[in-house]
Structure 1
Amino acid sequence: MNSQREFVAALLDPERDCPAQLTTWNGSDPAVRFAVYRNNVLSSLVDALAASFPVVQQLLGEAFFRAMAALYVRQSPPRTRILAEYGADFADFIEAFAPASSLPYLADVARLERLRVRAYHAADVAPLASETLTAALAAPDRLRDLLLQLQPALGLLDSSFAVVSLWAAHQGSLQIADVDPHQAQSALVLRNGLQVEVIGIHQSDSLFIQALQAGLTLGHAAEQAHALNDAFDLGTCLAHLLRAGAITHSAYNHQRQLP
């Protein structure tokens, strides 16, 4: 076990010597072979981060991004063999990374991109049939007690910055010169088929959806959203979630699930 820890430590720290117990089958210098292996591991993990955070890389430039990502890799090596899960706390690292402080929105852009990765790999759950929800909404006396379950692929981000517009600009949907990065935005991230969508929503809509995710009834979730914004439109928000296939189950509080 000590030799394994020594190997991992040396693999991620270029200042450490090659582990003394390493040998090669053909008699070549173990230190040279280990240096190649160390470089390949580091490069592969940086590549994985670049694939998960392409807009962050575009905002920083490739050279800056790869230098920053290499520091992250050495500080936070993978804890699972599933590379799609790597970088879960990369946004927190960026937020504390002083050389990137001139881009205060960068960490939230990373959080948005992490939500996209999570959405893409989330479990598949069939959406609720529209007629089922329509039938439930047709009983206004029971509407307050309705519970809605949402797709596991759905994610939300409330940011002090224009993360949706920044992301869209790097997809060619907006001109980056037209984006005010300091405008607060809320993002809804979900998967529709195999396509991951990033949608700008009102903060009250975000609060409503978060309340549903927390298990609150439709009535209580709507009350919270209305308290934040009198203009919150429950019907429009529900229609959008239904069209996106974001609602998977419905039930009345403390009673059986609707068919």
Structure 2
Amino acid sequence: MRQTVRQAMTQQTFITAALTPEQPVPDGLITPDGRPASKRFDVYRNNVVVSLKEALEQGFPAVQSLVGPVFFAAMAGEYLRAHPPKHPVIALYGADFAEFIDNFAPARAIPYLADIARLEYALRQSYHAADSQPVTQSALSDPLLFTRAVRLAPAFAWLPSAYPVTAIHRLATGTCRDGKTVQGGAEDVVITRPAYDPIATAFPAGTGAVLDALASGEALGDAAELAPPRLDLTRFLTTLLSGGAIVAINEI
């Protein structure tokens, strides 16, 4: 009989109970003497919830700073119950936290909050991405460079936003060097990892079209034709090169 009850407890039942304090202890969880393991499961449940909340706090410090610890804890609790971990690496927990924030009604008063979460998760992915060897300086002196395709580093990423998220992120994390005000509008964020720590750099909206073209294998010159009018191509290419974003240059 005991074996039949244990088989009836699904993985989803266990996960739901572990993440929801008001849920009863799943049938089949018993102590060695056959009694329901309520106290032991409550301790386990508390440890799971605390660990996941801590992972979100560490992974999204700017989001927490913008909404405050009490609001963040409540939002994180709602999120973790609806989105239990799908990846064994806890450091990568929160992949869809931004999408959750998009639909979390109490957060609508801060319209850029989800984009800040996207930026923070992209920075974290870059940090944990595989190492790569950038191209040498001599490879960049090729007179036919702009007819070549490039391969981008695993740690390199980019994302668009309707808000000046790089400045907001710096202000929220206490690394802003431009005073205590945020100016600007839509931007495309380029993330490079020249050493160990990723760097987010803002470029004009539309810059992502250049990177989309490079990622799809188009020649550097053809991709540059897609640049928005306000893009400083010299600064853009310098950012890619100094950030180790280009790991190969190939003929088309």
Give me the TM-score of the superposition, normalised by structure 1: 0.87
Amino acid at match of 2:133: A
Structure 1 range deviating more: 182-191 or 102-111: 182-191
The Cα shift of 1:75 comes to 0.3
Contact kept, 8 Å, 2:126 with 2:155, in 1: the verdict is yes
Contact kept, 8 Å, 1:122 with 1:153, in 2: the verdict is yes
Structure 1 range deviating more: 203-212 or 189-198: 203-212
The Cα shift of 1:241 comes to 1.3
Amino acid at match of 1:178: T
Aligned match for 1:179, one of 182, 203, 218: 182
Aligned residue number for residue 158 of structure 2: 156
Aligned residue number for residue 80 of structure 1: 87
Aligned residue number for residue 44 of structure 2: 37
Contact kept, 8 Å, 2:192 with 2:240, in 1: the verdict is no
Mapping 1:1-259, distance limit 5 Å: 2-5=8-11, 6-25=13-32, 30-134=37-141, 136=142, 138-139=143-144, 143-169=145-171, 170-174=173-177, 177-180=180-183, 183-225=185-227, 228-229=228-229, 231-253=230-252
What is the percent sequence identity of the aligned residues?
38
Amino acid at match of 1:109: I
The Cα shift of 1:202 comes to 2.4
Supply the RMSD in Å over aligned alpha carbons: 2.0
The Cα shift of 1:127 comes to 0.4
Q: Name structure 1 gaps, 5 residues minimum.
A: 254-259
Count of aligned positions: 244
Aligned-partner SS, 2:250: strand
Cα separation, partners in 2 of 1:234 and 1:18, compared to 1, 3 Å: same
Contact kept, 8 Å, 2:163 with 2:186, in 1: the verdict is yes
The Cα shift of 1:115 comes to 0.5
Q: Tell me how far apart the structure 1 counterparts of residues 179 and 30 of structure 2 sit (CA, whole Å).
A: 53
Q: Tell me how far apart the structure 1 counterparts of residues 161 and 87 of structure 2 sit (CA, whole Å).
A: 29
Amino acid at match of 2:123: R
Q: Tell me how far apart the structure 2 counterparts of residues 15 and 25 of structure 1 sit (CA, whole Å).
A: 25
Aligned-partner SS, 1:195: coil
Amino acid at match of 1:84: A
Contact kept, 8 Å, 1:161 with 1:184, in 2: the verdict is yes
Amino acid at match of 1:245: G
Contact kept, 8 Å, 2:16 with 2:81, in 1: the verdict is no
The Cα shift of 1:95 comes to 0.8
Contact kept, 8 Å, 1:187 with 1:199, in 2: the verdict is yes
- CA deviations on 1:111-150 (whole Å, 9 max, x unpaired) are 000001000000101000011121x2x23xxx45310111
The Cα shift of 1:46 comes to 0.8
The Cα shift of 1:28 comes to 7.6
Amino acid at match of 1:156: W
Q: Tell me how far apart the structure 2 counterparts of residues 9 and 243 of structure 1 sit (CA, whole Å).
A: 46
